[in-house]
């Protein structure tokens, strides 16, 4: 009999529990609580994320079937639908937001660099984007989006090199993407890749003033004055490479410095793109390649929507929704941490799928993800009675 830990308990061991205690103490999360504390709430919700439960009722049915294992799984003495629902509704979501950033920092420091990224840029490279999750306005009344539709918007700053989100902001759906830039602390020398929704020259000048670089696409109504043109090799797809300046009054006031305009033809998709950047040293083809890597944040949105529970929520209040999303991010980054610590070549999706069906096993994690060896086994020959037709 294997007397080891359950797989879910082994997963929880990779969480920095002392750091979580500091986050809880910061917002008095465990005040007046005797049972089912914030740590129990976190593990219960993570169990639902990894096991892909459809609803709070579904999660509780699954958990209650293993009530004798509560202590070993970290759920506390008792888990009920009412105390988990009340915890999601009332306990400050900032506990899990702060802890998510702590886990993100660990994941980014331990993650291996993406082998597909070979542009030779040493600085950090981020993709900035947002995704919308539709909600029923009559149920989620606080999540205004359109006249008869509700939604939340997840603003994300995605580290392209490590495939880990470094910044998450959750707002009602009617908050424009560009407002996410107001909450970002820019790194000196880092690159920020974004689409045309973030073309706000006042905010881009703040980014430039921090010593950071941006690459975005220009809009057709942007008034630019060409100051100089550089030689380009049109065989590489670069149509023009120019030094420009804004000519309209308000944009020129908001961004008084020069910009670089690059026109590039993408032969793979047969389309022409026009980029704006404040970097004057990189090659035009490198700028185009940087923007091409922006699609990785789109893949991240697609992945978490398909494999984690952030489209159907287990609570109706804003606090419950934010709690669930931040715990989903904690789950994603924790899987990335485990993947790097056991030095496994499996994808994040494969690891999550294996974990989802093995949470109550007692197999060590390094053995759980080991490549299976296919062996041809032959059954022993037994002398069996044969039926013969007469």
The answer to whether residue 332 is domain-embedded is yes
Using the predicted structure, report yes or no on whether residue 385 has a pLDDT greater than 50: no
Instruction: Evaluate whether residue 113 is within a structural domain.
Output: no
Do residue 276 and residue 353 come from a single domain? no
Count, residues in the chain: 390
Query: Between 108 and 114, whose confidence is greater?
Result: 108
Output the pLDDT for position 1: 37
Interatomic CA distance for residues 300 and 158, integer angstroms: 8
340-344 — which CB contacts under 8 Å span 24+ positions? 340/107, 340/110, 340/111, 340/112, 341/14, 341/110, 342/366, 342/369, 344/369
339, 353 in Cβ contact below 8 A? no
- In this prediction, residue 378 has a pLDDT band, given cuts at 50, 70 and 90, of very low
The confidence score (pLDDT) of residue 79 equals 85
DSSP state of 188: T
The DSSP-derived string for 90-156 is HS-THHHHHHHHHHHHHHHHHSPPPTT--S---S-EEEEEEEEEEE-TTTSTT-EEETTEEEEEEEE
Within a domain: 385 = no
Give yes or no for residue 341 having a pLDDT over 90: no
What's the pLDDT at 382? 39
pTM for the model: 0.88
Residues 180, 169: contact at Cβ < 8 Å?
yes
**Domain C-terminal end among 239, 271, 286:** 286
C-beta atoms surrounding 137 within 10 Å: 18
Task: Return the pLDDT at 222.
Answer: 86
Whether residue 269 sits in one domain with residue 326: no
When pLDDT is cut at 50, 70 and 90, the band that residue 114 belongs to is low
The confidence score (pLDDT) of residue 72 equals 84
Same domain (yes/no): 18, 77:
yes
Nearest-CA neighbor of 114 among 167, 158, 155? 158
Token pair, residue 176, equals 């424009």
Where is average pLDDT lowest: 170-184, 266-280, 346-360? 346-360
As a whole number, mean pLDDT of residues 328-357 equals 88
Give a yes or no: residue 11 inside a domain.
yes
Give the range of the structural domain holding residue 31, as residue numbers without chain letter: 7-94+318-368
Token pair listed for 266: 């993408």
Which are the contacts of 202, defined by CB distance < 8 A and separation ≥ 6?
A: 254, 255
Domain assignment present for 60: yes
Q: What is the mean pLDDT of residues 300-312?
A: 91
Is 227 contained in some domain?
yes
Q: Tell me the pLDDT tens digit for each residue of 32-83.
A: 888 889 999 999 999 999 998 888 899 888 888 888 888 888 888 888 888 8
Q: Is 265 exposed, middle or buried (0-12, 13-18, 19+ CB in 10 A)?
A: middle
**Cβ neighbours of residue 29 closer than 8 Å, sequence gap 6 or more:** 23, 37, 38, 91, 92, 95
Number of domains observed in the structure of the chain: 2
The answer to whether residues 45 and 36 touch, using CB atoms and an 8 Å cutoff, is no
282 and 322 in a single domain? The answer is no
Average pLDDT of the segment spanning 273-287: 94
pLDDT (mean) for 344-366? 86
Mean pLDDT value of segment 331-356: 87
pLDDT higher at 138 or 383: 138
Distance, first Cα to last Cα, the chain: 50
C-alpha span between 260 and 242 (Å, rounded): 6
> Looking at the predicted structure, is the pLDDT value of residue 377 above 80?
no
Q: Does residue 77 form part of some domain?
A: yes
Write the CATH number for 268: 3.30.1370
Whole-number Å distance between alpha carbons of 356 and 13? 17
Sequence-ordered list of residues with C-beta below 8 angstroms from that of 326, at least 6 positions apart, any chain: 93, 96, 97, 99, 100, 168, 170
Tell me the per-residue pLDDT of 17-41, one tens digit each, with 9 for 90 and over: 999 999 999 999 999 888 889 999 9
pLDDT of residue 251: 92
3-class SS shares of the chain: helix, strand, coil, % to 5: 40, 20, 40
Judged against a pLDDT cut of 80, whether residue 390 lies above it is answered with no
**Are the C-beta atoms of 248 and 199 separated by less than 8 Å?**
no
Whether pLDDT at 172 is above 90: yes
- Domain end among 265, 286, 307: 286
Joined tokens for residue 35: 């049972």
Span 204-255, pLDDT tens digits: 999 999 999 999 999 888 889 999 999 988 889 999 999 999 999 999 999 9
Residue 140 lies in a domain: no
Please tell me what DSSP assigns to residue 198. Answer: G
């Amino acid at each position: 009999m294997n007397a080891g830990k359950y797989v879910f308990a082994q997963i929880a061991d990779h969480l920095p529990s002392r750091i979580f205690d500091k986050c809880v103490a910061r917002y008095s999360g465990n005040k007046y609580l005797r049972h089912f504390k914030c740590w129990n709430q976190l593990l219960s919700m993570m169990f639902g994320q990894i096991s892909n439960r459809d609803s709070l009722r579904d999660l509780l049915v699954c958990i209650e079937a293993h009530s004798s294992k509560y202590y070993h799984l970290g759920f506390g003495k008792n888990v009920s639908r009412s105390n988990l629902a009340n915890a999601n509704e009332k306990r400050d979501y900032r506990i899990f937001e702060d802890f998510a950033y702590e886990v993100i920092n660990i994941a980014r420091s331990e993650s291996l660099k993406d082998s597909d990224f070979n542009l030779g840029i040493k600085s950090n490279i981020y993709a900035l984007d947002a995704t919308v999750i539709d909600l029923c306005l009559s149920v989620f009344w606080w999540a205004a989006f359109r006249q008869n539709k509700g939604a939340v918007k997840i603003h994300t700053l995605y580290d392209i090199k490590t495939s880990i989100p470094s910044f998450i902001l959750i707002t009602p759906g009617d908050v424009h993407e560009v407002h996410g830039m107001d909450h970002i602390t820019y790194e000196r020398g880092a690159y920020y890749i974004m689409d045309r929704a973030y073309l706000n020259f006042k905010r881009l000048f703040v980014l430039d003033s921090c010593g950071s670089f941006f690459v975005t696409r220009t809009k057709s109504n942007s008034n630019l004055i060409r100051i100089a043109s550089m030689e380009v090799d049109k065989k590489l797809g670069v149509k023009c490479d120019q030094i420009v300046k804004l000519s309209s009054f308000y944009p020129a006031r908001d961004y008084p410095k020069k910009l670089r305009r690059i026109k590039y033809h993408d032969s793979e998709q047969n389309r022409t793109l026009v980029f704006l950047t404040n970097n004057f040293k990189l090659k035009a083809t490198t700028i185009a390649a940087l923007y091409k890597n922006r699609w990785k944040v789109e893949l991240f949105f697609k992945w978490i929507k398909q494999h984690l529970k952030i489209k159907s929520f287990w609570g109706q209040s804003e606090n419950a929704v934010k709690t669930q999303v931040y715990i989903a991010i904690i789950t994603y980054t924790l899987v990335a941490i485990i993947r790097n610590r056991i030095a496994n070549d499996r994808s994040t999706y494969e690891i999550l799928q294996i974990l989802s069906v093995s949470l109550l096993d007692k197999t060590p994690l390094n053995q759980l993800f080991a490549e299976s060896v296919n062996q041809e086994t032959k059954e022993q020959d037994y002398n069996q009675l044969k039926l013969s037709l007469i």
